[in-house]
Amino acid sequence: MNPQAKLISISSLLLGTTITISSSHWMMAWTGLEINTLAILPLISNPHHPRAIEAATKYFLVQAAASTLLLFSSTTNALFTGQWDITQLTHATSCLLLTTAISIKLGLVPFH
């Protein structure tokens, strides 16, 4: 991989992580997670081998599904509580959907 491309990917990964950690709004947290997803894809598919491309495609599809679930969870929470703030997650369905989405994104045991 080109050193400049690798530097941009790693910088984007750090930027996405920083945005996600420092956000207090669901849309900013989602934006940071999507930046992380898009930054890690070139690093996964770096050796141009069919298995690496397949792994990157599978990773992208799973992460896109988890992002959709995260957006649905935050929208459901905003519908029932009127708040987009991360600290105001009080609706049970939204909390369950968010926990599932974050578990998928992290690759925890039943979702790996």
Residues 6+ apart with CB under 8 A from 103: 110, 111
Task: Summarize pLDDT for 14-36 with one digit per residue, the tens.
Answer: 999 999 999 988 889 899 999 99
Residue 69 scores a pLDDT above 90:
yes
How far is 11 from 74, CA to CA, in rounded Å? Answer: 27
Q: Give CA 95 to chain center in angstroms.
A: 17
Residue 66 scores a pLDDT above 80:
yes
Q: Between vectors from CA 39 to CA 36 and to CA 40, what angle results, nearest 5°?
A: 85
Residue 12's nearest CA partner among 28, 41, 36 is 36
Task: Summarize pLDDT for 71-111 with one digit per residue, the tens.
Answer: 999 899 889 888 888 888 888 888 999 999 989 988 888 87
pTM of the model: 0.82
Q: What is the model's pLDDT at position 32?
A: 92
Confidence grade of residue 64 (pLDDT, cut at 50, 70, 90): very high
Taking the alpha carbons at both ends of the chain, their separation in whole angstroms is 28
Percent of all residues in the chain with a pLDDT value above 90, rounded to a whole number: 40
CB 74 within 8 A of CB 94: yes
Q: Which residues pair with 25 in a beta bridge?
A: 85
Number of residues written out for the chain: 112
